[in-house]
Structure 1
Amino acid sequence: MAGRIIGVDIGTSLTKAVVFDDAGVSIVDACAPSEVHHLPGGRVEQDLEQVIGTVATVVREVTARLDEPVAALALTGQGDGLWLRDAEGRPVRPALSWLDGRANSLVAKWQAEGVAREIYRRTGSGVFPGCHAPLLSYLDKHEPESLDRAAVAGYCVDAVVQRLTGEITVDVSDASLPFLDPVTRQYDEGAIEACGLGHRRGLLVEPAPGRSVFRLNRTGAELLGLPVGLPVTAGPFDLPASAIGAGVREPGDGILTAGTTLACQVLTRDVTWDREGEPAGMFLATPAEADYLRAMPAMVGTAGIDWICGLLGIGVEQIGGLLAESTPGAGRVRALPFLSASGERAPFVDASARAQFAGLSLESTRADLVRALCESIAYAARHCFEAAGLSGTLYACGGGVRSAEWTQIFADVLGRPIVIPGDPGVGARGAVLTAAESLGQPFDVELWAANSRTVRVRPENADVYQQGYREYTESLESARALWRL
């Protein structure tokens, strides 16, 4: 196939388009910000039209700078949330973000009444406030007219696909949480009924077969400035796309995404789970039918770093220097990093989870505070990977790994080397690799994976972080008891 595939990653706050050469190195890229509206009551919403506008902006920009024809468009983007639209793809209300916390109390109620555990027994997925089930249930009670007007209860990527191609579809990765049976890759009707949503079943689109290909219609072609009929692929969403783009290929391999949230994923071909265990995490279906990612996407991440920067009146670029000023163990300052207004979703679910700092004294410095928070997020990653079953090579991506000091903390706390892909656009890479395979366009997997570096463990810090992790888990256990009061 002649021409290049444009990869588009539609993130929560930024949409990025990237074109790669035959070795998997980006040659053209463009980005455009998306608006995220934080409203009273923990509500977080986005405007579908504005998001689609960012897609048009970045695609047109890279196309104008590309010296070769465009062969296809490969989409990925944020998952979860609730993107309601009518049969023509028009939004019936602003999209509810995966960050949304309006259903916090409903999730707590489902946990107390056993609804969350019933869903987990059936699907292996925990529910959290920003996923489909509680958001649909909340609107069904408080805003039923929006559901009445909707034809589709979908996600960000398939909302964009509908506008560009006219197709009403959903990738199986997006559909994975919380209703999909990972064994059959079909919705579990009992899980839907357990949420009281049987009467809204028609809003859920059946997952498309893996590696499905769509085509730009006239509306999409005019929007993007590309030819009618251009192939379009849609998925997987950004978490599994990043795993594919980073090089996760063998069972037991994992990827740490240090972004707004901390996504920890491990590749597996075993879809059995302890049905009586902690109802958290999820099985994310990938384009390969035998492969799943056991995902523990924690709500902690770089958003916490932004918070402490604002609190201390410093810039993000100062974080590395402050980490270097404080020694491993942060001068005995300890933290729990749960700063999200919607609590935590992995490796446990608790909408009331909140952050704390302990061990402060008059001798504590702002460097100690920063390091304690960064170390606590690394401890959260270790907690997630222990739950997900990490045993192989660990890859990492996201804005957090741009900090050499913080990446070193992750490696030391996790006790294993971390492979960092040379190109930061791993979500778009994964989407492009999926599109190339779907279209029969050959590529060299090993060559694409070769552009990387490895962060080694510093063994001299092992004892400090082993003790730190023990204290972290003990503090977390005590805090969870208090959150229930």
Structure 2
Amino acid sequence: MIVGVDVGTSVTKAQLIARDGRTTPAHEARSTLYTLPGNRVEQDMDEVIGTVVTVVRAAVADAALLGSDEPIEALALTGQGDGLWLRDADGRPVGRALSWMDGRAAPVLDRWTADGTVRAVHRRTGAGMFPGAAGPLLAHLAEHEPDRLAAAHTAGYCVDTIAQRFTGERTVDASDASVPFLDVASRSYDEEALEACGLGRWRHLLADPAPPGTLYGLLPKVAAELGLPAGLPVSAGPFDIPACGFGSGLTRAGQGHLIIGTTLACQVLSDDPGPASREEPAGMVLATPYADRYLRVMPAMIGTAGLDWLLGMLGVRIEELDALLAQSPYGAGGVTALPFLSTSGERAPFVDARARGRLDGLSPLTGRADLVRALCEAVAYSARHCLETLGVDGDVTACGGGARSGEWGRIFAGVLGRDVHVREDAVGIRGAAKVAWDALGRAADVQDAAPRVARADTDAVAFYEEGYRRYLETLERARETW
């Protein structure tokens, strides 16, 4: 068995997973997300690590539930990516962690966009940037809090922060390190990209990426706290987006994957380390635990958060979503939407902090079902826009809270013009466990059941083909007015 841990933005989960794919129930613990003036979003590192200890201890106690005499073979970590988690030489926090949702570096990004820095870095590493990425955040601190950077030994991320505290190792997974300064083909930092951002003097803060298959040993004191044996192998990554991809079954170049969560992460497995977008400096290309395999990713800011806002405005419970969607026909009675409802704008498949949502085609005949369906269709159009930009050429799988809706799944299938294979159970943890078992050299099937399939209806595919063309035209006009 493996203890899998997924450290989300505000919820940490852990459960046991057996080599045949069976799992114990997930244990959860919440951490605080501090939303502060100046578009700052922060987390307390010690609190986050405390949530990991809590859920791991609870998961370990469930071993008998799997009815197996298999030992616990490893602790597999995954979690949120991006942001900036500054630590001293002992792995202790240097101030609170800066979340990937943090917006304080938006002026830096505006400057870099205007002077060509964003495009220069994108040409070298294939990584687009947004305010909550490590590059802009480092530059902001270098300008406004240089003493904080001077006090730090490591500028890392969530997963490697936990790994350092648990194992004593200063490390980073190549997936986390990929954005924005890594040459993913060589797995080494591009010094010219660092210099282009004015960050060459802070290169020493970046830990070199761990080679594929690296495992660490659990420190005795931490092991006792977790209820695990000292020296137990610890796998530290990949972060949550690639972990969900591998946990959903990505194995062949061209396959696509959607995480329909608070935000919408779209990714395609590729044997090409080139940029995610050839036209705009958006998206990212990630190194993976597997040789000559890369993930081209568009982490859009839209997703279930915008839907939750609309449902709240309309006084509709999420449990009513499927019934409401079924009440409105394809095309939502003539209502269309642009789904950009994040205060941070959009970052994929284009970057624009000014991007905003809209609803068009309203009339006295418009009902709540039409408004909700129009937004759900718009999110699906954006997913197609992202996947086509990434070069999808194969099956598409999906996971996340939005994927639980059967009606929304059918909208995605119609818009994408292909069946969507939905995985709903512990996908990130399954991906982290797969990587750990691969590193241990032991075969394991992390899937315990066939996916649910959202079918692409022929009539829907034909209708949405024209709807997608109109969506792109509307988007292009809107971008000139934001």
TM-score range, shorter chain: over 0.9
The equivalent position to 1:155 in structure 2, one of 144, 147, 157, is 157
Note the 1:122-137 alignment, pairs <5 A.
Answer: 122-137=124-139
The 2-side partners of 1:25 and 1:65 are apart by: 13
The equivalent position to 2:246 in structure 1, one of 239, 244, 247, is 244
User: Residue 401 of structure 1: SS of its match in structure 2?
Assistant: helix
Distance 1:274 1:82, change over 3 A: closer
One-letter amino acid matched to 1:286: T
The 2-side partners of 1:15 and 1:222 are apart by: 20
The 1-side partners of 2:369 and 2:408 are apart by: 13
C-alpha displacement of 1:5: 0.7
C-alpha displacement of 1:449: 7.0
- Comparing 176-185 with 60-69, greater Cα deviation is found at 60-69
Provide the TM-score with structure 1 as the length reference: 0.95
One-letter amino acid matched to 1:248: L
The 1-side partners of 2:372 and 2:355 are apart by: 20
The equivalent position to 1:373 in structure 2, one of 372, 375, 380, is 375
One-letter amino acid matched to 1:460: D
Q: Verify: 1:38 aligned to 2:35, yes or no.
A: yes
Q: Verify: 1:441 aligned to 2:442, yes or no.
A: yes
Note the 1:312-327 alignment, pairs <5 A.
Answer: 312-327=314-329
Does structure 1 conserve the Cα–Cα contact (< 8 Å) formed by 2:168 and 2:219? yes
Q: Verify: 1:427 aligned to 2:424, yes or no.
A: no
Q: 1:36-61, CA deviations, whole angstroms, 9 ceiling, x for partnerless residues?
A: 22222222111111111111111111
Q: Which residue of 1 aligns with 2:174?
A: 172
Runs of at least 5 residues in structure 1 that lack an aligned partner in the other structure: none
Aligned length: 477
User: Residue 27 of structure 1: SS of its match in structure 2?
Assistant: coil
The 2-side partners of 1:150 and 1:19 are apart by: 35
Q: 1:312-362, CA deviations, whole angstroms, 9 ceiling, x for partnerless residues?
A: 232221222211121111111111111112211111111221111111122
Does structure 1 conserve the Cα–Cα contact (< 8 Å) formed by 2:284 and 2:297? yes
One-letter amino acid matched to 2:477: S
Q: Which residue of 2 aligns with 1:272?
A: 274
One-letter amino acid matched to 2:48: V
Does structure 2 conserve the Cα–Cα contact (< 8 Å) formed by 1:85 and 1:151? yes
Distance 1:359 1:41, change over 3 A: farther
The 2-side partners of 1:362 and 1:108 are apart by: 41
Q: Which residue of 2 aligns with 1:340?
A: 342
Note the 1:201-220 alignment, pairs <5 A.
Answer: 201-220=203-222
The 1-side partners of 2:381 and 2:279 are apart by: 21
Q: Verify: 1:8 aligned to 2:10, yes or no.
A: no
Provide the TM-score with structure 2 as the length reference: 0.96
The 1-side partners of 2:251 and 2:343 are apart by: 35
One-letter amino acid matched to 2:281: P
C-alpha displacement of 1:74: 0.3
Q: Verify: 1:26 aligned to 2:28, yes or no.
A: no
Q: Which residue of 1 aligns with 2:307?
A: 305
Does structure 1 conserve the Cα–Cα contact (< 8 Å) formed by 2:24 and 2:62? no
C-alpha displacement of 1:135: 0.8
- Comparing 472-481 with 25-34, greater Cα deviation is found at 25-34
The 1-side partners of 2:122 and 2:134 are apart by: 14
User: Residue 263 of structure 1: SS of its match in structure 2?
Assistant: strand
The 2-side partners of 1:219 and 1:328 are apart by: 58
Distance 1:393 1:212, change over 3 A: same
One-letter amino acid matched to 2:371: L
Q: 1:240-297, CA deviations, whole angstroms, 9 ceiling, x for partnerless residues?
A: 1111111110010111110111111111101234986211111111101210011111
The 2-side partners of 1:91 and 1:77 are apart by: 18
Distance 1:426 1:105, change over 3 A: same
**Identical residues among aligned pairs (%):** 56
Distance 1:82 1:278, change over 3 A: same
The 2-side partners of 1:233 and 1:156 are apart by: 14
The 2-side partners of 1:247 and 1:320 are apart by: 26
Note the 1:42-61 alignment, pairs <5 A.
Answer: 42-61=39-58
Q: 1:347-382, CA deviations, whole angstroms, 9 ceiling, x for partnerless residues?
A: 111122111111112221121111111111101100
Does structure 2 conserve the Cα–Cα contact (< 8 Å) formed by 1:294 and 1:388? yes
Does structure 2 conserve the Cα–Cα contact (< 8 Å) formed by 1:246 and 1:449? no
C-alpha displacement of 1:138: 1.0
Does structure 2 conserve the Cα–Cα contact (< 8 Å) formed by 1:80 and 1:132? yes
The 2-side partners of 1:262 and 1:275 are apart by: 17
C-alpha displacement of 1:453: 2.2
Q: 1:51-74, CA deviations, whole angstroms, 9 ceiling, x for partnerless residues?
A: 111111111111112125422100
Runs of at least 5 residues in structure 2 that lack an aligned partner in the other structure: none
Q: CA RMSD in A?
A: 1.5
C-alpha displacement of 1:474: 1.2
Q: 1:396-425, CA deviations, whole angstroms, 9 ceiling, x for partnerless residues?
A: 11111111111111111111101112x521
One-letter amino acid matched to 1:223: E
